[in-house]
Amino acid sequence: AQSVAQPEDQVNVAEGNPLTVKCTYSVSGNPYLFWYVQYPNRGLQFLLKYITGDNLVKGSYGFEAEFNKSQTSFHLKKPSALVSDSALYFCAVSFSGNTGKLIFGQGTTLQVKP
Amino acid sequence: DVKVTQSSRYLVKRTGEKVFLECVQDMDHENMFWYRQDPGLGLRLIYFSYDVKMKEKGDIPEGYSVSREKKERFSLILESASTNQTSMYLCASSMTGARGYTFGSGTRLTVV
């Protein structure tokens, strides 16, 4: 079955430190991978995506993610966290032939402390 | 600025009422989706549509129906609202293919 896992419910980092939010997936065929961010009482905003090509993808607000096919992972990273990065982050996967429907992970709350 | 608009940000309804949640997109997207979001459960797909008048059940369609009479509008209907349908409802749209979604701002529905 197609699935996405975000193993951490919450990640805590200090401002200025690097952050990583983890995501692993299981799909048949080539995956298309996405990260979204959600601020309180708002919809989800697109951060970045991997479709093909370079395994390191750069996105909005200084975030990047690395596609690792052998580990079936797509971890979200940022070199230096900001307090304003505190939010709920969702990883999602699609795959060829499914009309673009996304499968979402459970979400990871990122807390950046001053 | 392209967008997906959900008609209400907050809604309070009584048990047994018929509830309509409206979603409109201005991007000429083929696909539209309705999710509900609950703490600890992530996003769960209720229904989606990949064309006008077409609809498919998602993971949790029970107690819901949808309507897509025009390409830009996708309505979610709670036939008889119940307290366990209290949730955040998110609409999204996308083009066909691996393009990702554009989300609306969400409707927080409380059924009392």
Q: Work out whether strand A44-50 and strand A56-58 pair parallel, antiparallel, or are unpaired.
A: unpaired
Sign of CA dihedral A32, A78, A75, A19: negative
Q: Give residue-wise pLDDT tens across range B82-99.
A: 999 999 999 999 887 767
Minimal C-alpha gap between B28 and chain A (Å): 15
Among A32, A49, A105, select the one facing B42 at the smallest CB separation: A105
Total H helices, total E strands in chain B: 0, 12
Q: What is the DSSP string of B24-56?
A: EESS--SEEEEEEEETTTEEEEEEEESSTT--E
Is B98's CB within 8 Å of A100's CB?
yes
Chain B residues lying within 8 Å of A51, measured CB to CB: 98
Q: Which of A18-22, A59-63, A94-98, B55-59 has the lowest mean pLDDT?
A: A94-98
In this prediction, residue A96 has a pLDDT band, given cuts at 50, 70 and 90, of low
| Nearest alpha-carbon partner for A35 in A68, A64, A70, A2 | A64
Q: Is the pLDDT of residue B37 over 90?
A: yes
Q: Do A100 and B40 touch (CB under 8 A)?
A: no
- CA atoms of B95 and B90, how far apart (whole Å): 17
Place of tokens 């970045």: A48
Mean pLDDT of A12-32: 93
Whole-angstrom distance, CA of residue B66 vs CA of residue B74: 7
For chain B, the residue count is: 112
N-to-C CA span, chain A: 41
